[in-house]
Structure 1
C-alpha cells in the first residue's frame, strides 16, 4: 500500500526550502488503487513547473497504520473505499502572495492544462480535492 517511492524522488529535487516557506497549501484526494502508477507519473510532470515558480512540492500516500483509540483516521473521514488510497500534496510557498502569483500563472499556462485535465480524470470521480491553507507559526 505504500508505493510512494515513484513521486518521492522527484519531490526531493525541489530547490525551495522549508525554512523559507511561510505558507502551505495542503490537498487531500482519493485515488483508485488501479490508477496509482498513472497518477504518480502525472504528478511527477508537475514538479518542474512548480520548481520554476520557486515552490517546493511533495506528494504522500496515506500509510496503512493503526490509528490510536479515540482518533478517527483520515481515510474514514474522507470515506475512502477499500479500492482507494488517500494521497496528500503539500505545496510550500514563501508567503500567500507568492501562492496567489503562482496560481495565477498556472491558470494562464496552456502547457500544463492537459496535465490538469488528466489528473482530474484519474482521481476518484464524483469527489473533489480537500484543501487547507496554512500559515507558518513561529514558536
Structure 2
C-alpha cells in the first residue's frame, strides 16, 4: 500500500519512485473501512487503536516542489480495543499489550526489532538492510 496514491494525477516525482493511482486503497490492502464518528474519512477495522483527527495546517518542507509535508492535526476521537486497556480502567493503555508496527527511517519495526523490508524504502532509493532483519520469537 505504501506506493499507492488516491490522486488520479500522480506527480512525476512520485511516479519516478514507483507510485501508482489506486482508487480503493482499502481493497488493495485487504482492509475493512468502518465509518468514523466525527470526521469524514473511514477508519480501518483491523487497527486496534484508531485516531480521528481534523487537519489544522499543512506545512511544506524540504526541497522546493518535493511534495513533502508535515500535517498538523487535532485528534477529536480515540478508539481503542478494550483488551489493550489496563485492568480496572477505561482509559489507560497497558504498554505490555500493545506493540505497534511502526515505520522508522523507511523500515518496519516492532518490539525493538527490524521486522520487514519496506517497498516505500525501495521507491525512495534507501539501501536494503535484509541481512539485519531480526524477527523476534513470538
Fold similarity call, TM over 0.5: no
Q: Report which structure shows greater RCO (CA 8 Å, sep ≥6).
A: 1
Q: Which has the higher helix share?
A: 1
TM-score by length of 1: 0.29
Larger fraction in strand: 2
